[in-house]
Amino acid sequence: MKYFIANWKANKNFDEAKQWVNQFLKIYRPKTERTVIICPPFPFIPLLHQAVNHLKNIKIGSQDLSAFESGTYTGEVTAKTLKGLVDYVIIGHSERRKNFHESQDLIGQKISLAKKYQIEPIVCFQDVTDRLPNNIKFIAYEPPWAISKGYEDSMKTVIEETPETVIKVKKKLKIQSDKCFIYGGSVNSNNISQYLKYKEIDGYLVGGASLNPATFYEIVSQV
């Protein structure tokens, strides 16, 4: 199984989200060999949920969740709120660690709450020195220097990461083969075929190249 995770980040308004869904559903064909996970901003989750819930091999994820379970935490979106709307959640993305000062402890709390509410955490790490929790299935290697390097050019935009170096990181961290090892960092429709040659990488977190439904499907449909 290969996983293709669309991380829209803080992009799109409601009309743009609807357009994306309409266009994607026109071209999307399910395949048993791959799972597509779409992670939109929180307000668009119900829209996506309604549109794709009945389709095979396509799931919804959130880009984060609260480290609190419920209560007097104005503005927080909790695992309890998200239960039933999403199947996955991205936790510990480098942009959250950097811009919102997320600590390892906070990330641990988020992982526990996700699990408590049956939401599968996709936990991001940035380099070999990061501490990896051992009770998670999805581990995403996303070196910050390789993120958002432009999507037009091919491998040369991915500054220092190549499929070979990504696999070296997996080996160095002794990530077992029963885990789903995900890579993210300027994956696009030009370079995906290079990565897909390697069975060691189980899936891809795609940011910028997921914002256009046709480009994202070009990536997905190579499996």
Q: Is 142 a catalytic residue?
A: yes
Looking at the chain, which runs of residues are DSSP E strands?
2-7, 34-39, 58-62, 88-91, 120-125, 138-141, 180-184, 203-206
Backbone angles phi and psi of 141, in degrees to 5: -90, 120
Q: Applying CB under 6 A, which of residues 58, 205, 219, 220 lies at the interface with ligand PGA? A: 205
**Residues 143-182 as x/- pattern, contact with ligand PGA by CB under 6 A:** ----xx----------------------------------
Helix, strand, coil percentages for the chain (3-state, nearest 5): 35, 20, 45
Q: Which residues pair with 160 in a beta bridge?
A: none
Query: What minimum distance in Å lies between the beta carbon of 100 and ligand PGA?
Result: 14
Task: Output the residue with the shortest Cβ distance to ligand PGA.
Answer: 207
Only one of the segments 49-57, 102-110, 126-134, 204-212 lies at the binding site for ligand PGA (rule: CB under 6 A); that segment is 204-212
Backbone angles phi and psi of 38, in degrees to 5: -105, 125
**Residues 71-110 as x/- pattern, contact with ligand PGA by CB under 6 A:** ----------------------------------------
Query: What minimum distance in Å lies between the beta carbon of 102 and ligand PGA?
Result: 14
Rounded CA separation 130/137 (Å): 16
Which residues, in sequence order, are CB contacts of 102 under 8 Å at separation 6+?
92, 96
- Rounded to the nearest 5 degrees, what angle is found at the Cα of 119, between the Cα atoms of 166 and 12? 75
Catalytic residue among 54, 102, 120, 142: 142
What torsion do the CA atoms of 105, 111, 114, 119 make, to the nearest 10 degrees?
160
Catalytic residue among 49, 54, 76, 93: 93
Does 61 contact ligand PGA by CB under 6 A?
A: no
Nearer to ligand PGA, 26 or 137 (CB): 137
Interacting positions 123-142 with ligand PGA (CB under 6 A)? 142
User: Residue length, the chain?
Assistant: 223
Query: What minimum distance in Å lies between the beta carbon of 14 and ligand PGA?
Result: 22
Q: Is 33 a catalytic residue?
A: no
Q: Annotated catalytic sites, by residue?
A: 93, 142
- Interface positions with ligand PGA (CB under 6 A): 7, 142, 147-148, 184-187, 205-209
